[in-house]
Structure 1
Amino acid sequence: MTHSALLVMDVQKAITDRVPGLASDYTPRLARAVSAARSAGMPVVYVVIGFRPGHPETKSSPAFSALPEGAFTDSDPGAAIHPDVAPRPGESIVTKKRVSAFTGSDLDLVLRGAAIDHLILTGLATSGVVLSTLRQAADLDYRLTVLADGCGDADPEVHQVLTEKVFPRQADVTTVDAWISDLT
């Protein structure tokens, strides 16, 4: 029997505010997916990027070492999950230290502990956390679904290539509305 979880990844204020061209309907659409998962009794797992003050975890990372002091720490308001999709008490929030939701986090332990074997992926950016997580999750033998319009990227062409040509090799790719229809 398949046990699924909806992953909402990197949908943090500092990220949603920085993705140019992110439609104003993105977070409300993602909120519909979150609501549908909850209604179906499916766990919603939030994945966020987060660092300690002083960013000791980023010193060896070319990608993250350039972050401004204080970015994505507990005191950074931009590190908060977007209020449209905010977690409810008791929902898991997993903090990662690199691009993939699995790297530097306890995500696999959280999922395996709940007997989850199917992940529904959403998040920002398609070419970042979604791609990296999809690849690692496939190697960890999770069944995968990507909600294409539950993801977004600064480059719409890259988003399109990934969701239409790359992701279908390892995941089912659908839309939020089609996925919600299949849940009911």
Structure 2
Amino acid sequence: MNSLHIDFQKTALVLIDLQKGIVKQPNGQEIAEKAARLVKLFREKAGFISFVRVDFHDGQDRLNPKTDQPVNAVQLPADWAEFVPELGVGDEDYIVTKRQWGAFFGTDLDLQLRRRGIDTIVLCGIATNIGVESTAREAFQLGYHQIFITDAMMTYSREEHEATCKYIFPRIGKVRTVQQFLSEVNEIA
């Protein structure tokens, strides 16, 4: 395992879909609490944080491809896209609203990171093999260094989570737990 050398002026924390309508899944609260530890660290180090959520303007902007596993159309509660309070998202924070799985396509996330000289992202959130992995693949193609905090992410089954963490993430970045990441950052400080 290669050690981390984090320059918080060039590193962003990108949190995927830690919003009320998604975190309510089993174990979602635990993921939000672990992510909040990372938010606290990045705030202390004056690092850039991007809070990403999925939301829709009028429903016409939802993806609706023909698939073998159809998505049920449901009425979303009014607070569905609000970030969970544990994250402490405020008006001054940078928020990305995406309309699909990945956080780069159709948003200005890449532009905002590059304008700040950021070349590394720390990634966590829900769901590991959907929003997080899609964002990770996009970031890889854009040339970002990545650190995946695997115990601050989850998905619909253990098998799906483990497959992405074992076979995809190590090929495109570094894999850590919250504790490993915090320990390595504190060794350098």
Give yes or no for the alignment of 1:5 onto 2:12: yes
Q: Tell me, in whole angstroms, the C-alpha distance in 2 between the residues paired with 1:5 and 1:128.
A: 20
Partner residue in 2 for 1:175: 177
Q: TM-score, normalised by structure 1?
A: 0.87
After the TM superposition, which of the residue ranges 59-68 and 77-86 deviates more from structure 2? Answer: 59-68
Give the 4+ runs in structure 1 shifted more than 2 A: 23-26, 59-69
Cα separation, partners in 2 of 1:105 and 1:66, compared to 1, 3 Å = farther
Asked if the contact 2:31–2:125 (Cα under 8 Å) also holds between the matched residues in 1, the reply is no
Partner residue in 2 for 1:143: 145
What is the one-letter code of the residue matched to 1:45? Answer: S
Structure 1: give runs of 5+ residues left out of the alignment: none
Q: CA deviation at 1:109?
A: 1.3
Structure 2: give runs of 5+ residues left out of the alignment: 1-5
Q: Tell me, in whole angstroms, the C-alpha distance in 2 between the residues paired with 1:136 and 1:78.
A: 25
Number of paired residues?
177
Cα separation, partners in 2 of 1:91 and 1:161, compared to 1, 3 Å = same
Q: CA deviation at 1:61?
A: 4.1
Q: Tell me, in whole angstroms, the C-alpha distance in 1 between the residues paired with 2:95 and 2:113.
A: 12
Asked if the contact 2:22–2:28 (Cα under 8 Å) also holds between the matched residues in 1, the reply is no
Cα separation, partners in 2 of 1:93 and 1:24, compared to 1, 3 Å = closer
Give yes or no for the alignment of 1:50 onto 2:55: yes
Q: CA deviation at 1:154?
A: 1.2
Asked if the contact 1:148–1:173 (Cα under 8 Å) also holds between the matched residues in 2, the reply is yes
Identity of aligned residues (%): 29
Q: Tell me, in whole angstroms, the C-alpha distance in 1 between the residues paired with 2:136 and 2:114.
A: 16
Q: TM-score, normalised by structure 2?
A: 0.85
